[in-house]
A = this chain, B = another copy of it.
């Protein structure tokens, strides 16, 4: 079992400097910090938790990483994540994550937070290692996409732990997608397309994989390769608008969007082009955000239970912080049928 002394020797620093790094003291140069963290990783050093808890107070702070501050779905999750943290006496810091700033973010969080909650982000292995080495648990609300997402044939690849054993809470997408597809078939659709966010590592990839798999289970094949709506309203609107402009007789009569911002954008594109929904194109989303019940027509959507998901994700992280055993979970995604797919 590696000791703090061995870490110091390997990194070529004093034991005091190793302690500074473990407590994220600002006086340590970034270069030195990197050397020490590398040594910690290479030696598999685990800080003596009892000794540390005697010396360092918990911060009672948790970092929650998000993708896009403008996404009402993420805001909905945050609402319940925060309420749960508050009930247990914790503060949360919300931060937008991007890979280019990951190392900087990592250095900033270490020593400042007791745990990290991701929203399906694919953190670099190095970050996960650092957090683990320093006793900072990481869990995920939404199953992280992993590199094998495209190859996987079912939405539950990795079960409830996704990549690198990261526990997560998410909707059980496979059965939810099947319910949605069956509903569309009942409305007469067999040529059904999917719109996703093609950005590598996007958690929407999990939903895309589940859709493709569920389509196969229902004996259908995708009407066309997935459309890329970039996860955003405006981008989705432009993508579908292009498609409608260049293909007057579209390859699909129904379109499922991986998130509701995109579904609303597609609805807007149809409105702008005078295409009637659902008569000429049926549209559905996968979240049921507030806006989805307020559009014209209102959007059919899989209901993502944000309160349950947010609460359970935070409870899971708090349990990990308390060093009790944790496990991810899959929640049911009920189908809410509205006017964007149902003519009645």
A108, CB-defined interface residue at 8 Å: yes
Stretch of A87-95, A160-168, A222-230 lying at the B interface: A87-95
Please determine whether B94 and A264 come into contact, CB atoms closer than 8 angstroms: no
**Which chain B positions have C-beta within 8 A of A94?**
69, 93-95
Query: Contacts A95-B93, A104-B91, A296-B295 given: A69-B61 contact, CB under 8 Å?
Result: no
CB distance from A82 to the nearest CB of B (A): 6
The number of residues on chain A lying at the interface, defined by a beta carbon within 8 Å of a beta carbon of chain B, is 34
Within the assembled complex, what's the spacing in Å between the Cα atoms of A101 and B82? Answer: 14
Q: Which residue of B lies closest to A112 (CB)?
A: B112
Within the assembled complex, what's the spacing in Å between the Cα atoms of A49 and B91? Answer: 30
Cβ contacts A259-275/B at 8 Å (1 or 0 each): 00000100110000000
A96, CB-defined interface residue at 8 Å: yes
Please determine whether B75 and A79 come into contact, CB atoms closer than 8 angstroms: no
Within the assembled complex, what's the spacing in Å between the Cα atoms of A57 and B107? Answer: 14
**Which chain B positions have C-beta within 8 A of A108?**
61, 91
Please determine whether B79 and A70 come into contact, CB atoms closer than 8 angstroms: yes
A53, CB-defined interface residue at 8 Å: no
Q: Which residue of B lies closest to A233 (CB)?
A: B290
Pick from B95, B105, B290: contact of A291, CB under 8 Å: B290
